Structures are given as C-alpha cells and as structure tokens.
Structure 1
Amino acid sequence: MNIFKHELIMKKQSILIWSLSLSAFMIFYMAFFPALAKDAASFDSIMNSFPEEMLQALGIKEGLSIASLIGYFTLTFGMIQLAIAIQSANYGFSILSEEERELTADFLLSKPVSRSTIYFSKFSAAFLSLFVSAIAVGISSLIALRLFNGGESYRLAHVLKLILTVPVFQLLFMSIGMFISLLFKKIRSVLSLSMGLAIGLYVINSVRGIIDSDLLGYISPYYYFEPGVILIDGIYDLKLFGLAIGIIIISLVGSYLLYNRRDIHSL
C-alpha cells in the first residue's frame, strides 16, 4: 500500500483548484494596477484620508503608496498569504485526522505499516501538494508583475526573495495545524478550524500594525514574512525566520510523538 501516492491522488482535485484559484486571483487583481497608476494622485488623496492605523492593519508600511507598484503588490500578496494560510492549515488539520472522521482508521492501521511510515507519508504528500501551489503563486506573481507593472520598475531579486518565503509560510501553518489536530479527540469541521486559525492570526497581525507592537507580532506568522518589508529592503529578519523554523520543528516533533502515542478512535 503506497500511502504517499494514495494521498497525492486524493488531493489531486484540491491541488488543482487551489493552484488555479491563487494564480487567477493574483493575475486578476494585478490587472487593475495599470488603470490605477494612471490616476495615482487622485487615489493617493483618497488613501490619505484613511487613518494611518487602517493602512498599517492592511500591511502597508508608512510612506508606501498603494498607487505604486510595490504598494499595490504588497496589498495583493498579503491577501494571497491569507488564502495560502487557510489552505495550509486545512491540510494540517485534516491529514492526520481524516481516518478518524471518516471512520476508516481500522482499514489503515490494519495494514503492515508503522505509524511512523503513515505519518511521514502523509506529511510528505501534504507538503508536496502545498509546494505545487507555491510554484503556482510564484509563477503567477512574476507573470502579473511583467504584464501589469504600469511602466514602473521593480527589483526582481526582492520579488524572488518574497516568493521563496511561501513554502516556509505554508509549512508553518500546516505543522501548527497538524499539532493542534492531535490535541482534539475528534475533529468535526476542518474548514472552521483552519479558517479560524488563519484569520485569527491575521487579525492579530493587523492589531499589531495598529498598536505598533513587535511583541504581539511574534504570535502571528504573517509578521515573520511581511511582503512590504521584504519587497523594499530585500532582506529577511533572521530572528523572525529562526523563530518560524523553531515553531515548525517543535510542531512537527510534537505531532509525531502525539500521533505515535494516540489512541485512534474507529468503528
């Protein structure tokens, strides 16, 4: 029984839908920028009427105009991050709990494979599925910037650095979801939990932007990979990047230990 192959086949439709949806959103949303750039002054005057706290909540750094290419792409990529977080958390919450929800645990655990093999096969299939979506986001981002830059220049190296954060961002939400899923006896609604986690942490990061609290930002993964910071400075915050890696390792090790000791509920 090839669990890895089976999980990929089961996620085939999900991978296709998520990849196409994320790519379509990126290209569709960026297609509005050239028209916006032609009347940048009027748009800036409108945006200046909004409270600064509101713009910070949207991830727009002080002095960065949404009517500029980098500002508009920062806003667009921030919304893409929210969708990516929901997808990643959804895979994390579901991958180790689906047999218990569907009452098929007996069938899986009766096979001559260890729980460690099941865990790593499922994890590998889920992460590969997410990586396909990450590639789709990267390609669509580059296409959108090339087609709809409105004549403005951008630093390709900085854009590539931002795109490279996507797999780590995905793994962070997926690993947290995996760990939390094993703290429940049984998960009834994966979607509600994944959306709650992704949106809840997004709100925390928005509040952090409003009150300008770095301490609060450590709670939210969105703070670790802020598009505006990476696109402008072209560097990673190594302290936050290290924190992300630490959370991933702790979550994966914790979920592995919990899964191997778990009393699996079945028929």
Structure 2
Amino acid sequence: MTLFLHEIKQNRLSFLIWTFSIALMLLICMMMFPEMNTGMEDMNNMFSNMGSFTQAFGMDRLNFGDVMGFYAIECGNILSIGGGFFAALLGINALAKEEKERTAEFLLTHPVRRRTVIFQKLAAILFELLLMNVFIMAVSAASFAFIGEELAIREFLLLHGAYTVLQLEIACICFGISAFIRRSGVGVGLGLAALLYFLNLFKNISSQAEFLKYITPFAYAEAADIISESAIDMYLLALGLIYAAVAVGAAFLKYTRKDITA
C-alpha cells in the first residue's frame, strides 16, 4: 500500500486541477442552459442542418432544446475529451517516469517485487479515475437541481458509466505503452487519446468508416446513442475491456523482464 499511497500523493495536484476544471466547465455549461433555452428551437434547427458537422457530434439524433440532449452534447464532449486526456497522462507516465526521473534504482532496490510495483501503480490510476468521476457525477447531478430541470437518472448513469469505462480503457492502454518506453510519453498519451476521439468522429461522418467503432472507445460512449436508445452497446464495451486487459497484461510481461536503466 505504500507505493499506492505515494502515487496518489504524487498525482494529487494534477488530479485536483483536472477534476475541478472538468467539473467547473460542466457546471458553467449547465448554468447556461436556462438562458439559452429561450432560443433553443432555432438553434436546434440550425445545428441539425449542418451536414457532416451535425453527424460527427450526433446532433442529428439529439434534441438540443432538451436538457439531457444539451447535457449529452455539451457536457459529454467536455467529459470525454478532458477525462480521456487525464487518463492518458496518468497511464503513460506511470512506469516510464521511474527511468526518466532516475528513481528506478531507489525503488527496485527495496524488498518489493516488480509485479507489486505494477499492481499498486495501476490501482492508484484506477482509484483516481473512479474518484474523479464520482465527484463530477455529484456536481453534474447537483447542477440539474440548481437550474430546476429533471434528471433522467437511467440515461445519466449510463452516460457517466460509459465515460468512466472509456477513461479506464485509455489509461490501461497508455499504462501498457508506458512499460515499453524510457522517456516522457506525454505526447504519445495525448496523441493517442486525440486520435481515438477523431476516429470516432470519422466513424460518425462516413459509413465506410463504420469499422472504426471496433477500435475507438468513444464509440460505446457515444452520447447520441446512449441517450436515444437508453442503452450502451455492451459488445463494444466488452471489446474495450478486452483491449484494456491485454494492455495491462503486456505491461506485466514487459516490465517484469525489462532491463531498467537506473
């Protein structure tokens, strides 16, 4: 547990910044809804007739004038992008930083197995992501009550559940990559998260890119699908969990055999 607590303490500043930033942006968006609602019908018609842009963000399947439709489009994008980037940063730095910061020699000379190091670092990442999402969900739910709008609990929980799994998958994939690199991988992590996000946009725009839904986790976290169908595509979600498990398995195999530079 010592390493687990150390990781939590070491990441506390970035955790607080990302968590409160995302929560604040969601809160501000929700505070804007009552003011925007008066002209929402015209805005909804405008957004629904913007061709590829409309399809990319699923606005052709959601009512921008409905509070859950508004929440899914505006707040959903904030949470998916912000949460995905933070998950990537946590994962990509987890193992590589020990060599980058020259702390591997100190860490691995202690009576602790490498498997334990991997497990506790991964547990710290998953704990931080879960805690962040619980806090953001609480703030979001409170914002509905504050503006006097009814919260569709099922859709709300499904939406946040999908985003949580999305973040966990990205974190695990970046965690796996972290075991193979020796230097800072911030660019790699953020680049991967951005790539997966844009792959989902391409999938929404073109029917020929439909196969991309089997690659990007943003496909099963598609707000338009979740809100309109009140369900998550469990096949795609299960596929994402498999990708995450494979990445974690690769991290264990690589790091336990890796010639670590002190």
TM-score strictly above 0.5: yes
C-alpha contact (below 8 Å) 2:26/2:78 kept by paired residues: no
**Identical-residue share of aligned pairs (%):** 26
Shift of 1:94: 0.4
Shift of 1:157: 1.6
- In the other structure, the counterpart of 1:198 is 193
CA distance in 1 between partners of 2:180 and 2:98 (Å):
16
- Aligned match for 1:187, one of 183, 186, 189: 183
CA distance in 1 between partners of 2:44 and 2:126 (Å):
40
Does residue 208 of structure 1 match 2:203? yes
1:9-29, Cα deviation, whole Å (9 max, x unpaired): 111212211211111011011
Matches within 5 A, 1:153-168: 153-168=150-165
Does residue 177 of structure 1 match 2:177? no
CA distance in 2 between partners of 1:249 and 1:49 (Å):
41
1:18-59, Cα deviation, whole Å (9 max, x unpaired): 2111110110112111111111222134324422x1112123
- In the other structure, the counterpart of 2:226 is 230
Structure 1: 5+ residue stretches without partners: none
1:158-210, Cα deviation, whole Å (9 max, x unpaired): 211222233322210111001122233x223x332222111111111111111
- In the other structure, the counterpart of 1:139 is 138
C-alpha contact (below 8 Å) 2:62/2:69 kept by paired residues: yes
Does residue 21 of structure 1 match 2:46? no
CA distance in 2 between partners of 1:231 and 1:145 (Å):
16
Shift of 1:70: 2.3
**TM-score for the superposition, normalised by structure 2:** 0.93
- In the other structure, the counterpart of 1:263 is 259
- In the other structure, the counterpart of 2:39 is 39
Structure 2: 5+ residue stretches without partners: none
C-alpha contact (below 8 Å) 1:22/1:136 kept by paired residues: no
1:95-124, Cα deviation, whole Å (9 max, x unpaired): 111111101111111111100111111111
Specify whether residues 48 and 158 from structure 1 end up closer, same or farther in structure 2 by C-alpha distance, changes over 3 A only. Answer: closer
C-alpha contact (below 8 Å) 1:178/1:252 kept by paired residues: yes
Greater shift in the superposed pair: 28-37 or 226-235: 226-235
Q: Secondary structure at the match of 1:39?
A: helix
One-letter identity of the residue aligned with 2:216:
S
Does residue 245 of structure 1 match 2:235? no
Q: How many residues align?
A: 260
Matches within 5 A, 1:99-110: 99-110=98-109
CA distance in 1 between partners of 2:192 and 2:120 (Å):
24
C-alpha contact (below 8 Å) 2:79/2:163 kept by paired residues: no
C-alpha contact (below 8 Å) 2:162/2:232 kept by paired residues: no
CA distance in 2 between partners of 1:183 and 1:44 (Å):
47
C-alpha contact (below 8 Å) 1:59/1:78 kept by paired residues: no
Does residue 128 of structure 1 match 2:103? no
Greater shift in the superposed pair: 222-231 or 85-94: 222-231
One-letter identity of the residue aligned with 2:41:
A
CA distance in 1 between partners of 2:47 and 2:231 (Å):
27
Aligned Cα RMSD in Å? 1.7
- Aligned match for 2:65, one of 55, 67, 88: 67
**TM-score for the superposition, normalised by structure 1:** 0.91
